[in-house]
Structures are given as structure tokens and as C-alpha cells.
Chain A
Amino acid sequence: MSDTHTGEPPLLRTAQNMIVENDDIADTIVLRRPPARAEVMAEICRQLEPFQADDGRAITGATVISKDLSIDSLAVMDMVMDLEDQFDVSIPMNVVAEIHTVDELADTILALSARR
């Protein structure tokens, strides 16, 4: 997969981690930008690769996660937790239940990031 992927959450390259000091309290603020769609798609495909069907069909936006891949519902939820941390969003369980395709998963992550 992508060589540029570092496993780190997407950060604004130009932004420094800023330490804001307020008497005894110090908080680290990390500035983030909403991720690009291609970035989200690439990460989802990377996560799903181990579950690809034997027929070698490529994972696309139209791939139905629970049907076209050999992944059980628990593994889907675990993958979602990883994606949540990658893109710093939380996808409620009832929303996960309504996601069928890779496109829908990407759209959900993008919509939640935009709202942040």
C-alpha cells in the first residue's frame, strides 16, 4: 500500500503541537484538517486487504463489506475503531450497523470529520 502512509493521524504538516499554558494546566492541542476522500479510501482498503475474497476481486467503493469480503461483524467493528482513531472521529454503533459499502464508510468518516 501507499508508501507515504505512516500510521499517524493526519496532521497539518505546517502546524506545531502547541502547548498552551494556563497556570498549572497544560494542554496539548493538535491542529487537524479534514482528510481527503482518497486518503480515507486508501486507509479503508488497507484495513480490509486481509479480508479480500479468494477470487482476487479488487476492493472498490461499491464493495459490500459484510458480503464481498470474508470479515465477520466483530472484525468490522474492530476495524471501525482503528479508523476512528486514524481520523479522530467516533462512529456510533447504530450508524456502523447501517453502513454496507466501502463508499458509505468513507462518506460517514468524511461527514463526521467535516462536522468536527
Chain B
Amino acid sequence: MGLFDRHAGLLDAYRDVRMTGADPFQIRMERVLSPTEAIINGKKTLLVGTNNYFGLTFDPSCMEAAIEAIRAEGTGTTGSRIANGSYSEHVALEQEIAEFYGKKHCMVFTTGYQANLGVISTLVGPDDFLLIDADSHASIYDACKQTQAEVVRFKHNDPSSLDARLRRLGDKPGNRLVVLEGIYSMLGDSAPLKEFIAVCKKYNAYVLIDEAHSLGALGEHGRGLCESAGVLDDCHFIVGTFSKTLGAIGGYCVSDDPDFDILRVTTRSYMFTASLPPSIVASVRQALRIVKAHPELRTKLWDNVAALYDGLAAQGFKLGPEHGPVVGVHLPDRMTAIGFWRAMLDAGVYVNVAVPPATPNGVSLLRCSVSAAHSHEQIAQMIDVMTGIGRQLGVLGNTPKLRVVGSSR
């Protein structure tokens, strides 16, 4: 048996995808022009699938900060912080994020994936219990593979399902850690965090929330769902990423636990990988200043979300259950989703295609992510293109419907 034989089923499925004439998993941006435009297949294309929620990737002050840092400290750190030491800027960034949340401690990771992977798998050990939402991100599932704790899944966004599972643990000794996400990356829906926190308190469970898609987007200061739900003090660990709203790459975890720093010498994804380069640290610090100083970006983002979500819903598209910076458009099956995606690209609009097994409940989606940098015209263009193709492909009826159709979940 060959090494690749076990992937035979996936290879067949992938061949089907490529037969449509474009490979959504190997898209090439020939040139990125701005947070909302790139040249793809020789054509100027509108980007509605880049998680660039505040459009900061081309912010002049962030770019200047990165360039200055390269001149001052070079291109990379060439090693991990445990082996090669930290730069002052790593420590400054950690202090600034801790202050942003009003928490005592912060650890910065090289990616958001590594933050979840390392922190979650290390916080719980043998005889502990890890409880995760069924729709958790891959980084959380991978942490489940690494940890020695017992892992139990509960139904997506269902506090009563979590309650039942914590209740069944009874008086078994061992810590309980519950992992939630502020905004889920496929359908853009938020966790009912207040209700979840109440359940966690009832059973004395620790709470870790991943604010990857909600940093900047939610809360009066942009701290995420923990802030907008008014439960920041009840979230023992908050994880997030620099790769979305902050326009770079990297991850973090903040906490008030006095012994938090021990994770620096126990978390493998922190210890055994090179630390963030100075340019990234510098641009992230500047982007965080912008998030604090410009709440109007959040307003603009949600205005655009409302325009896109309501516009698509009015045309009769079946969408995720609520407004969110991610707008997931349900399509009947995998091949329709891929054909739809291809037609949109030909029409000059780039979105993400998400098909099983990467999606919850086996749904096929076009995943759109909205930016504060999108203009009204761009959002209108997006709705027009999508509606036209929806009619051509028979996904929409010919008469626009005015009812919003929520998710069936």
C-alpha cells in the first residue's frame, strides 16, 4: 500500500473540484492592490473573503512601523523566545495586549493556530476534562488530539447541551475547561456567552474563549464577545489572533491567573518555534493603537455587514443565523458551491468556498468576509453579482423574496 492510498477518496473529490476549471484551494493572487482588491487571472477582482475586517493591511502607519522595525532589528528572530531570548518589542506587545483586556498576563504566539493548539492542550492534562463546541475551529480540535485530558463535544451554541455534559461528569475529580468562540468562522454566528458562563459557574468550570473573528468587531472597545456580553472577568483565558482585524499574523492568550507564565516553559507550540519577526510585532502594535483610537471602523464594518447580509437575504439567499463579519451563504451541495464560486471569480468577485468536512452539519457554503474598507459600491457590486449567478444557477427563484431565511440549525 502506498503512502497516498489512504487519500484516494479525497483525491477523487479534489479531481471533481478541479474539473470545474479553477482550483479554489490554490487560488493565486497575482498582485494584491489594496485590502479589497487584487489581480486574479489577470483581472482586477473584488476581495470579499480575506478576514481583513478593519482593512488595516495597507494602513500607512502600520506599514511604516513594520519597515522601520526591519531597518532597526532585521528581518527575523531566527529562533524561539525560550532558546534565543525575547526582543523588547515582544514584551511591549504582550504588555499592551494585557492592558487592552485589563488582564495581568499575556503570551504572544507565532500564529493564532499555535496559540489555541498550545494553550488548550497544555492547560488540561490527565484526569482533567476538556469540553468543546461541536463547531470548533481546527486548531481547537488539534489541541484535543494533543491533550491527555478527556474530551467531550457539546452541541453548537447550546448551553443546555454543555450543562448536560458537565452534569454527567458528576463528582469526578479533575478540572473542567470549556472552550468557546466569540464568532464562528463559517457562519458568522456568536456564542450565547452569558448563558454559557452561567453554566460554567454552576459547575465550577474554567472558560477559554477564542476571539479570533471578534477582536475589533465586538464590544465597546473592540475586545470581542467577552466585552459585548459583559463577562470579561468571567473568561479565565482569552485567545485571539493578529491575522484578521490586526492585519498581520500571530496569536495571543491573556489571563489573570497568577501562575500563567509557567505556560512559557510548558507549551510546546510556544517553545519550539521561532518567535514573531520585529516587523510583524511593530505593525501589530500600531494596528492595536488604531483599533483603540478609531471605533468608527467598527461602526463602518457593521454597516457593511448589514448592507451585505440584508441585501443577500432580500434576494432570497439562505444565510447564517445572524449578522456577523462573516456571512455564510448556504448552497444546496458541494458542486453547486464550487460552480457558484467559479462563476463569481469569473465575474470579478473573490469569496471563499467551504465544503464538507470543513463545515458544520455537512453544509456547502460560500463564505464572505466583510471589511470596514469595503465601499458602498463594492457591497452593491457583490450583491448584484451574487444575485445574477444565483438566478442563472437556479439557486434563487426569479422573484426576489423579502423574508430573511435563517439557518436550519
Contact = CB atoms under 8 A, between A and B. Distances in A.
Partners in one complex: yes
Interface of A: 72-75, 77-78, 81, 84-85, 88-94, 116
B362 A89 contact: no
B164 A93 contact: no
Contacts of B361: 78
A72 B362 contact: yes
A116 B155 CA distance: 21
Contact of A74 (B150, B152, B362): B362
B211 to A, nearest CB: 24
B165 interface: yes
A91 B154 CA distance: 11
B152 A90 contact: yes
B153 A94 contact: no
- Name the prevailing secondary structure of the A interface residues: helix
Given A73-B357, A81-B161, A92 B134 contact: no
Contacts of A116: 168
B281 interface: no
A90 B151 contact: no
Given A72-B362, A77-B134, A88-B168, 4 more contacts: A73-B357, A74-B362, A92-B150, A93-B152
B124 interface: no
Contacts of B357: 72-74
A90 B169 contact: yes
A72 B153 contact: no
B144 A93 contact: yes
A75 B168 contact: no
Contacts of A88: 164, 168
A85 B164 contact: yes
A74 B356 contact: yes
A93 B153 CA distance: 7
B46 to A, nearest CB: 32
Contacts of B161: 81, 85
A72 B363 CA distance: 13
Interface in B249-288: none
A31 B206 CA distance: 29
Q: Give the residue among A84, A91, A116 with the most B Cβ atoms within 10 A.
A: A84
A97 B223 CA distance: 37
A75 B362 contact: yes
14 contacts: A74-B356, A74-B362, A77-B134, A78-B361, A81-B153, A81-B161, A84-B165, A88-B164, A90-B152, A92-B150, A92-B151, A92-B152, A93-B144, A94-B150
Contacts of A90: 152, 165, 168-169
B14 to A, nearest CB: 15
B373 to A, nearest CB: 34
A40 to B, nearest CB: 17
Interface string B147-159: 0001111110000
A75 B134 CA distance: 11
Contacts of B165: 84, 90
